[in-house]
Structure 1
Amino acid sequence: MAGSLGFELDRSKHFDEIWRTSPGEGDNIVGVVGFGSLLSEKSARSTFDSVLNFRLGRVTNYRRIFSHVAPIFLERGIAKRETKEMASLSVEEGTEADSIVVSLFDMKAEEVPAFIAREEEYRFVAVQPKELDGTASEGLHVMCVASCDEDFISNYGKERFMERYGRYDIERVWADDLLPCPVYLRHCVLAAEKMGSACHDSFLDYTYLADRKTSIRNYLADRPEILTELPPDHLAERYGG
């Protein structure tokens, strides 16, 4: 990948292609694009040890897509297997008309291995985001982009694939017949809403089901109960937006 779509990062090198030096402490830092649960600063700070300069920005030529199974939803018992409501969120290449409001922040470079381990099913792409005022953000940022089962197996091996997904009888992780995990979708919508109307509208209108046709706004118009169904008590804080 090149140009406006960015380029794929080498996970074995811990993204050192895009390391920067923080102006204050002089640490090596890496910019991160958040597009789902990481729209919430609270979620970001509960996930990363270091969250620096958290703010909203924009990434063009990409759109959000619910198109892969997340093992964590199965482990936590919030996936609905019978209706295939167990998809998590990624982004994929769109058109020049696609532009998503995202969160931007920096993490310390020492956190990159843990980040890769948490997000191992994705491709990692370096993109040049913009601030909300249209100016270019400082440095390239890593973004988790849609991948495929074959790439996962190439990176980690069939044994790791079966260890992570086979025990749940998941044969395909990236698929076009999935629906969003309701608890997670509600969490993302609430997080986007808390960040203001621009972020909220972007999430509703530039996030799609795996069919690549149905926007989340239209999906929720048909499934409004998703926004009123509360997560299990022990996950209320984690998935509360």
Structure 2
Amino acid sequence: MCSSDSRPNISANKPAEEVKELHDELDFETVVSPNGLITICGFGSLLSERSARITFPDLINFRVARLNGFRRVLADLAPVRRGVARPETKEVSSLSVEPCEGESLIVTAFEVKISEIPSFIERGIEFRFLAVLAETLDGKPFDNPALLCARYSDEEFFQIRCKGSKDIYFQLCGQYNIDKIWQDDILPCCPYLRHCYMTFEHSWNLNGKVTV
């Protein structure tokens, strides 16, 4: 069963300790490894180490992993803010993920310093931040939780990220004529989707098929 509102839905095959929502920087500190690093899960453009290093130039230990209990979804209007979308044709969406029992994703994982997290939060402010337990391709769980950007809800975004302020919402979204961030009746943003495809094609292809 998939969770359309994106709130972490703990299923029988996903123990509660494997998924935890992170609300602020103090929460992020709870998933820092003993050597002061945080693991990031990548599922879109971050599938490529070259692309990931644009955002995290000092990342280490880039690798392929598996994440159970989630699926990719095209529902986020972020490309509109970045000026690469086509609102007139509804080609406006980028990738996010949402909980979905019985599904699994091939993702990437890598470590970054805790000092890089504040800017990461700022860039992905429209997302729900989750600590999840990824695993290697042969099924061995990671030693530490990984940080995942998941689908949020517009109500929570307004009340929590914008603190219920219409002025803050205007700064983040309203000035781009966005009155609803998360939508189900939109199409992929073509430049973004092309970037994800090229990222995947140039990095690795595990089964000869490309899907989002």
Q: What are the ranges of 5 or more consecutive residues in structure 2 without an aligned counterpart?
A: 1-7
> Which residue matches 2:126?
121
Distance in 1 (CA, whole Å) between partners of 2:117 and 2:82 is 25
> Which residue matches 1:150?
155
Offset at 1:199? 7.2
Are positions 1:11 and 2:24 aligned together?
yes
Distance in 1 (CA, whole Å) between partners of 2:167 and 2:122 is 16
- 2:23 maps to amino acid: D
* TM-score of the aligned structures, taking structure 2 as reference length: 0.86
Q: Name whichever of 49-58 and 7-16 sits farther off.
A: 7-16
Corresponding residue to 1:82 among 88, 91, 96: 88
The alpha-carbon distance between structure 1 residues 200 and 91, as it changes in their structure 2 partners (threshold 3 A), is farther
- 2:177 maps to amino acid: D
Which protein has greater RCO, CA pairs closer than 8 Å, 6+ apart? Answer: 2
Offset at 1:99? 1.0
SS across alignment from 1:197: coil
> Which residue matches 2:115?
110
Distance in 2 (CA, whole Å) between partners of 1:14 and 1:113 is 12
Corresponding residue to 1:197 among 182, 205, 211: 205
Corresponding residue to 1:167 among 165, 172, 175: 175
The alpha-carbon distance between structure 1 residues 124 and 133, as it changes in their structure 2 partners (threshold 3 A), is same
Q: What are the ranges of 5 or more consecutive residues in structure 1 without an aligned counterpart?
A: 23-27, 208-241
Distance in 2 (CA, whole Å) between partners of 1:8 and 1:14 is 8
Alignment length, in residue pairs?
Answer: 196
Offset at 1:68? 1.2
Q: Is the 8 A contact 2:173 2:179 kept in 1?
A: yes
Please identify runs of 4+ aligned residues in structure 1 that moved more than 6 A: none
Distance in 1 (CA, whole Å) between partners of 2:205 and 2:86 is 30
Q: Is the 8 A contact 1:101 1:199 kept in 2?
A: no
SS across alignment from 1:21: coil
SS across alignment from 2:119: helix
Identity %: 37
Distance in 2 (CA, whole Å) between partners of 1:75 and 1:122 is 14
Q: Is the 8 A contact 1:11 1:124 kept in 2?
A: no
The alpha-carbon distance between structure 1 residues 174 and 199, as it changes in their structure 2 partners (threshold 3 A), is farther
Q: Is the 8 A contact 1:129 1:136 kept in 2?
A: yes
Distance in 1 (CA, whole Å) between partners of 2:207 and 2:76 is 23
- 1:62 maps to amino acid: F
* TM-score of the aligned structures, taking structure 1 as reference length: 0.76
